[in-house]
Amino acid sequence: MVESGYAQSQGMTLLNRLVEDAGPLFTMEQAQAAAQTLALSPGRLRGVLSQLAESGWIERLKRGAYAVSAPLFNAEIHPYAIAAMLVSPCAISHWSALAHHGLTTQIPPMVQAATPASVVTPEMRQGAAYRPRGRAVWRALGLEFEFIRVQPRHFFGFQEVWVSRWHRVTLTDLERTVLDLFAMPQVFGTLQFGLETLEAQLHRLDLDKLKDYALRYDVGALIKRLGWALETVGAPESTLTPLHDYPLQSYSLLDPTGSFGGAAITRWQLYNNL
């Protein structure tokens, strides 16, 4: 650090206290609490943080959020914890959740997380990589994060997982992760991937929970699509009946990523365009 020995000592003391208390990710509020124990004034704290950032000891993730850089903290900061720091609330989802649950052997090129559509941060608006169609890409610490905006009523179906000794993050549970294959097949390229995953993982799924999630999602096309898929892989009638009985006035495409057309599947009010 290009600072006096005293200033450097203050910065290192503050960082060591923050890592001890909060880990390698911290907020301004946590920094303020640590500064009080070290008798640093608010003005001096801002100056110390600025010096640390200029010298490469910390990196600013967004306004009021920071990550400690190597060599002070040598362990890798878990990408899921970074995502949770960038946008709140969010839940690790889609390809990232598939990988976490062992539903794919592919390594996702970026961390994906769902967040309610009502959440739009200044960084999302101003970022050069902002995508208007419900997604925002964020780059931090050499990684990419894609936040997929969903309707607030569709923001459910989570579990909490520890990814480090400091960080517990929210992640879509197994059944909700599978539901997303049918709710947003465009994220995965095609519905075919969802059908293959459902068949391969049927023995692991709580089908009643999956069915209840679909009904709670309350989108007719999704419900019929999932019902047809479950019937195709041999799910019991007790799971299929509530999905079949969901009222729907019109037919939908089986695969919304495909072209219009295909034979009618009368029982499920779908056009088979696979």
Kindly report, residue by residue over 30-49, the tens digit of the pLDDT.
Answer: 999 999 999 999 999 999 99
Q: Which pLDDT score, from 0 to 100, does residue 129 have? A: 46
Q: Which pLDDT score, from 0 to 100, does residue 126 have? A: 52
Average of per-residue pLDDT across 60-76: 80
198 and 222 share one domain: yes
Secondary structure class of 110 (helix, strand, coil) = coil
Answer whether 52's CB lies under 8 Å from 58's CB.
yes
**118: CB partners within 8 A, 6+ apart:** 152
Residue 86 lies in a domain: yes
Residue 90 lies in a domain: yes
Q: Which pLDDT score, from 0 to 100, does residue 132 have? A: 47
167 and 184 share one domain: no
Residue 199 lies in a domain: yes
Amino acid, res. 104: T
The 3-state DSSP composition of the chain as helix, strand, coil percent (nearest 5) reads: 45, 20, 35
Residue 253 lies in a domain: yes
Q: Which of 113, 144, 172 is the last residue of a domain?
A: 172
Question: Is residue 124 predicted with pLDDT exceeding 80?
Answer: no
Confidence at 9, pLDDT banded by 50, 70, 90: confident
CATH number of the domain encompassing residue 20: 1.10.10.10
Q: Which of 13, 40, 68 is the last residue of a domain?
A: 68
Whether the ω angle into residue 116 lies within 30 degrees of 0, i.e. cis, is no
Residues of 185-197 as b/e, b for ≥16 C-beta within 10 angstroms? Answer: bebbeebebbbeb
In DSSP terms, 114 is beta-bridged to 91, 148
Position of tokens 């200033």? Answer: 7
Residue 234 lies in a domain: yes
In the sheet that holds 25-27, the strands lie side by side as 25-27, 65-68, 58-62
User: What residue numbers bound the domain in which 86 lies?
Assistant: 80-172
137 and 159 share one domain: yes
* Identity of the highest mean pLDDT range in 1-10, 37-46, 72-81, 213-222: 213-222
Question: Is residue 97 predicted with pLDDT exceeding 90?
Answer: yes
Give me the phi and psi of 115, to 5 degrees please. -145, 145
Confidence at 171, pLDDT banded by 50, 70, 90: very high
Residue 247 lies in a domain: yes
List the structure tokens of 73. 């903290």
**Count of domains forming the chain:** 3
165 and 220 share one domain: no
Position of tokens 């929970």? Answer: 209
Closest of 156, 138, 162 to residue 89, by C-alpha: 156
Residue 74 lies in a domain: no
Question: pLDDT tens digits, residue range 210-238?
Answer: 999 999 999 999 999 999 999 999 999 99
In the sheet that holds 270-272, the strands lie side by side as 252-253, 270-272, 263-265
Amino acid, res. 21: D
Average of per-residue pLDDT across 159-182: 96
255 and 201 share one domain: yes
Residue 75 lies in a domain: no
Confidence at 87, pLDDT banded by 50, 70, 90: very high
194 and 148 share one domain: no
How distant, in Å, are the alpha carbons of 98, 110, 157 from that of 174? 8, 20, 9
Question: Is residue 194 predicted with pLDDT exceeding 90?
Answer: yes
List the structure tokens of 205. 């799924």
232 and 199 share one domain: yes
Percentage above 70 pLDDT, the chain: 89
Q: Which pLDDT score, from 0 to 100, does residue 76 have? A: 75
Cα separation, 86 vs 65, whole angstroms: 8
Beta strands in 106-234 (DSSP E): 111-116, 130-131, 135-140, 143-150, 158-162, 168-172
> Which carries the bigger pLDDT value, residue 28 or residue 21?
28
Q: Which of 68, 88, 113 is the last residue of a domain?
A: 68
183 and 167 share one domain: no
